Amino acid sequence: MKGFDFDFLKVTPIAILDILFVAILIYYVYNLIKNTLAVNLLLGMFIILVIQFAVDALHMELLSAIINKFMSVGIIALIVIFQPEIRRFLLLIGKNTFLQKNKAWWGYLFGSKNIERDNLARIKPVIDACKSMKKSRTGALIVFVKFYDDQLFANSCEVIDSKISKRLLESIFQKNSPLHDGAVVIAENKIKSASCILPLTDNDKLPPQFGLRHRAGIGVSENTDAVAVIVSEETGEIAYAKQGRVRMNVSFGELEKLLNKDF
Ligand SMILES: Nc1ncnc2c1ncn2[C@@H]1O[C@H](COP(=O)(O)OP(=O)(O)OP(=O)(O)O)[C@@H](O)[C@H]1O
């Protein structure tokens, strides 16, 4: 007698590995898109997929043809809609590779003393400037990027291209300075530009006291590998934005650790 074929239920080590990788992938994708509009879009796509299965099963040919056509164009629409998330996902993979994570390798190859000296040279003036801007209640938005994206920053910014210095940062953000509006971008051990207009986040779950400066800092960290240090003009509080999330009331010790870790 012919029985049922349960071949597809065979659990092989490769299948377990496969499931594990898919679970990790789902976890990373969820982490990337949680608290963003992308969750609603993904839910919409999922519902259409379920309808497609139902329509196929019921052999409703006309509806099935329409949904199939929609789904084949949908993949291009998905790439366009999720472009920031895809970009962030690829950056995340690049940042988490063995060589990137294990900075000891870089130290071994290029000399850890040099790296520490570089970090101190670019981080200390920023922290000192933040200390004095906190005291004087001067609002500031300082963005650190690993790769300076000309396309993103060149159009809206004033090019500075100068050594990172406390006094320069203070004078840029001084209320009377023509460059004080907007963000300063630091990359490649330099203040690359000032007065930059950044993309604002559309996250609707942020605290109500967050105005445009905070929204711009969080926005740029959502779409790029950038982290943003925000000094509030109203409270003097320091906030730190990374990957679309923000840490409030950051102490200077924490700020140094965070910047050292991320840059
Ligand atoms: N798109 C943008 N990109 C960069 N900077 C911006 C942008 N929009 C506004 N800003 C900066 O934010 C300032 C306005 O800050 P606003 O008071 O709205 O922010 P906030 O988050 O409430 O911070 P604060 O606590 O300092 O008031 C502007 O003067 C400008 O310098």
Q: pLDDT tens-digit profile of 94-150?
A: 655 555 555 555 555 555 555 555 666 678 999 999 999 999 999 999 999 887 777
Q: How far is the CA of 134 from the centre of ligand 1 (A)?
A: 15
Asked if ipTM goes beyond 0.85, one says yes
pLDDT value at residue 1: 46
- Nearest atom within ligand 1 for CA of residue 233: 26
Distances (CA, A) of 150 to 39, 64, 67, 187: 30, 45, 40, 11
Pairing mode, strands 140-144 and 245-247: unpaired
- CATH fold, domain 116-262, is YojJ-like (1 (3.40.1700)
Whether the CB-CB separation of 233 and 240 falls below 8 Å is answered with no
Atom 5, ligand 1: residue with shortest CA distance: 182
* 201 DSSP assignment: P
pTM for the complete prediction?
A: 0.67
Distances (CA, A) of 227 to 99, 145, 180, 230: 21, 7, 19, 10
Q: 135-192: per-residue pLDDT in tens? A: 999 999 999 988 777 766 777 789 999 999 999 999 999 999 999 999 999 988 899 9
Q: Which residue among 130, 169, 179, 212 has the greatest number of ligand 1 atoms within 8 angstroms of its CB, and so is best to mutate?
A: 212
Q: How far is the CA of 233 from the centre of ligand 1 (A)?
A: 9
Alpha carbons 31 and 220: distance in angstroms, whole number: 17
Position of tokens 């740029």?
220
Domain boundaries, the chain: 7-101, 116-262
Angle between helices 166-173 and 112-135 (to 10 degrees): 40
Please give the average per-residue pLDDT across 203-223, as a whole number.
Answer: 88
- Residues 74-83 as b/e (b if ≥16 CB within 10 A, e otherwise) read beeeeeebbe
Q: 37-86: per-residue pLDDT in tens? A: 677 777 888 888 899 889 988 988 898 888 888 888 877 877 887 777 77
Q: How far is the CA of 232 from the centre of ligand 1 (A)?
A: 9
Q: 228-238: per-residue pLDDT in tens? A: 999 999 999 99
